[in-house]
Amino acid sequence: MLDKEKVFNTAIGNEIAIPHGIEASKDSIKQSGIAIMVFPNGTDWNGEKVRVVIAIAGRGDEHLDILAKIAGNLADTDDIDNLVASDVDAIHKMFVD
């Protein structure tokens, strides 16, 4: 993930960053997963304000399903506000159920 940030800012707009590994590390992933960090007041992410960081590790092509789930749950600013105000269980339900 750190190598990816050196060559490409993973902030995608809408106050979201989606850090992920480089292509060469893909074979090292044993199980897909995500880690979500919420910064209610925002944090500087390579010069952009970000409130939600979703780190992705996708085994094989599973990262595509993970990205689709993120896009479906965080389509607009209201979705970001809802996630930032949610507790751990609600956030888990958004992305796992």
pLDDT tens for the chain, residues 1 to 97: 666 777 767 888 899 998 877 666 667 778 888 899 999 999 999 899 999 999 988 887 787 888 888 888 888 889 999 999 999 999 988 888 6
Q: For residues 59 and 37, give the distance between their C-alpha atoms in angstroms, rounded to a whole number.
A: 21
Pairing mode, strands 16-17 and 33-45: unpaired
Q: For residues 76 and 15, give the distance between their C-alpha atoms in angstroms, rounded to a whole number.
A: 10
Catalytic residue of the set 19, 20, 21, 80: 20
Question: Is 63 tagged catalytic?
Answer: no
**What is the per-residue pLDDT for 69?**
86
**What is the per-residue pLDDT for 3?**
67
**What is the per-residue pLDDT for 22?**
67
Q: For residues 96 and 92, give the distance between their C-alpha atoms in angstroms, rounded to a whole number.
A: 6
pTM score, two decimals?
0.83
**What is the per-residue pLDDT for 32?**
83
**What is the per-residue pLDDT for 2?**
63
**What is the per-residue pLDDT for 97?**
63
Give the CA distances from residue 60 to residues 25, 54, 63, in Å, rounded to whole numbers and listed in that order.
11, 18, 7
**Coil, strand or helix at 22:** coil
Q: For residues 9 and 20, give the distance between their C-alpha atoms in angstroms, rounded to a whole number.
A: 10
Please state which CATH number belongs to domain 2-96: 3.40.930.10
**What is the per-residue pLDDT for 95?**
83
HSE-CB for 54 with a 13 A CA cutoff: 26
